[in-house]
């Protein structure tokens, strides 16, 4: 018994060490700074006009999907960005669509899936992920439309004119856009697979550019507010992530041997549901789910449950659930997770039937 507890506790610490060493510096920290900049420097009207409660469905959801496609981030790194646009006025549905799309269907993940598991599998993954992202966002919007409208009414309306800054600098949307793109560039370079010397050089250059831009375009008050908002996101999210990643590592270490072969070798409702639940509560960094899926396939996992796992694992995890509920509440989080489980289980069954 002591050996078992030592094993699962060791699994929790191993998962935590792997995440902190591989993702905090180059992934999570840039995401916090981006979220802080969105909340401090981007005019609220930009978010509310394009992603707000009253935005056109034909504008808000395609924009949410397109933004997600460009970000090669995991279910935890996307959380500060989700929190940032949500706090700034994005509607619940478009914000959740963005939250779902970025880890599941980003360009890098799909390319990697196609090269490792085949392009038929990659095509099914991207088509179903985009469909699920939009469907889940719209369903939750419909269910909680009164809550969303109430929140929108209670938030202060943004000023339409550019804000004059106390040191004489004038707010410029083009400057804000370039500044956010530079911050996004840091996130891209930090998460892209490239030689370490290229990554270090790219990050150093982009950090210098960020420093020059913030000195030239923004006031001391704005920069101070940016740092303050970044710290608020970090101190809110990081403790929840640490607890969730540790718990996921414990659960993973506790799984019995030959689990996949015994329970996931057939395309049944039970097998697909188990695969989805495993993907929902476990945490693997972005792209790691692809080689993991190849390993699972070699160990006897059926193709239907494999796709069900691939659809669930990147988009949500125990750490992300703990954070999401902080920003949208228990009921909405429960519905969001429940819809993911239902959609992914059905998708695995259907794909497994045709794939054989």
In a domain, 129, yes or no: yes
Q: What is the pLDDT of residue 283?
A: 67
pLDDT, tens only, 13-47? 777 777 666 555 566 677 778 778 876 777 766 76
Neighbours of 292 (CB within 10 A): 16
Q: What is the pLDDT of residue 166?
A: 45
User: Among residues 58, 52, 137, which one has the least CA distance to residue 87?
Assistant: 52
pTM across the whole model: 0.67
How far, in Å, CA of 155 to CA of 350, rounded?
Answer: 43
In a domain, 334, yes or no: no
User: Among residues 77, 97, 92, 93, which one has the least CA distance to residue 35?
Assistant: 77
Neighbours of 334 (CB within 10 A): 12
In a domain, 337, yes or no: no
Q: Within the chain, which residues score under 50 in pLDDT?
A: 158-166
Q: What is the pLDDT of residue 345?
A: 94
In a domain, 215, yes or no: yes
In a domain, 296, yes or no: no
In a domain, 125, yes or no: yes
In a domain, 19, yes or no: yes
pLDDT, tens only, 94-131? 889 988 887 777 665 676 677 677 888 888 888 888 89
How far, in Å, CA of 16 to CA of 98, rounded?
Answer: 26
Domain count, the chain: 1
How far, in Å, CA of 37 to CA of 310, rounded?
Answer: 32
- Residue found by looking up tokens 């990050």 in the block: 203
Q: What is the pLDDT of residue 161?
A: 39
How far, in Å, CA of 26 to CA of 101, rounded?
Answer: 21
In a domain, 103, yes or no: yes
Q: If DSSP states are collapsed to H, E and C, what string results for the chain? A: CHHHHHHHHHHHHHHHHHHHHHHHHHHHHHHHHHHHHHHHHCCHHHHHHHHCCCCCHHHHHHHHHHHHHCCCCCCCCHHHHHHHHHHCCCCHHHHHHHHHHHHHHCHHHHHHHHHHHCHHHHHHHHHHHHHHHHHHHHHHHHHCHHHHHHHHHHCCCCCCCCCECCCCCECCHHHHHHHHHHHHHHHHHHHCCCCHHHHHHHHHHHHHHHHHHHHHHCCHHHHHHHHHHHHHHHHHHHHHHHHHHHHHHHHHHHCCCCHHHHHCCCCCHHHHHHHHHHHHHCCCCCCCHHHHHHHHHHCCCCHHHHHHHHHHCCCCCHHHHHHHHHHHCHHHHHHHHHHHHHHHHHHHHHHHHHHC
Domain that holds residue 59: 2-255
């Amino acid at each position: 018994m002591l050996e078992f507890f030592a094993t699962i506790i060791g699994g929790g610490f191993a998962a935590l060490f792997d995440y902190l060493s591989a993702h905090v510096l180059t992934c999570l920290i840039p995401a916090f700074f981006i979220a802080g900049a969105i909340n401090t420097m981007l005019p609220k009207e930009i978010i509310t006009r394009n992603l707000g409660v009253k935005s056109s469905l034909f504008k808000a959801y395609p924009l949410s999907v397109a933004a997600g496609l460009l970000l090669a981030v995991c279910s935890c790194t996307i959380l500060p960005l989700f929190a940032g646009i949500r706090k700034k006025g994005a509607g619940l549905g478009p914000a959740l669509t963005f939250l779902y799309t970025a880890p599941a269907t980003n360009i890098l993940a799909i390319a990697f899936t196609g090269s490792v598991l085949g392009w038929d599998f990659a095509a099914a993954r991207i088509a179903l992920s985009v469909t699920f992202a939009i469907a889940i966002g719209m369903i939750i919007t419909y269910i909680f439309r009164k809550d969303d409208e109430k929140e929108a009414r209670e938030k202060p309306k943004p000023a339409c004119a550019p804000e004059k800054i106390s040191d004489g600098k004038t707010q410029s949307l083009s400057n804000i856009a370039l500044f956010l793109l530079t911050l996004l560039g840091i996130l891209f370079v930090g998460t892209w697979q490239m030689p370490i010397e290229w990554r270090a050089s790219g990050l150093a250059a982009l950090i210098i550019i960020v420093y020059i831009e913030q000195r030239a375009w923004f006031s001391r008050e704005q920069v101070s507010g940016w740092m303050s908002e970044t710290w608020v996101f970090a101190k809110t999210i990081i403790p929840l992530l640490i607890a969730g990643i540790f718990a996921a590592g414990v659960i993973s270490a506790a799984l019995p041997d030959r689990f996949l072969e015994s329970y996931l070798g057939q395309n049944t409702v039970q097998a697909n549901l188990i695969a989805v639940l495993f993907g929902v509560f476990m945490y693997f960094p972005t792209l790691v789910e692809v080689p993991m899926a190849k390993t699972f396939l070699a160990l006897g996992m059926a193709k239907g449950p494999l796709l069900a796992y691939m659809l669930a694992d990147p988009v949500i995890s125990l750490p992300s659930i703990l954070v999401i509920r902080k920003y949208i509440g228990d009921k909405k989080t429960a519905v969001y997770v429940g819809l993911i489980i239902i959609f992914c289980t059905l998708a695995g069954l259907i794909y497994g039937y045709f794939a054989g």
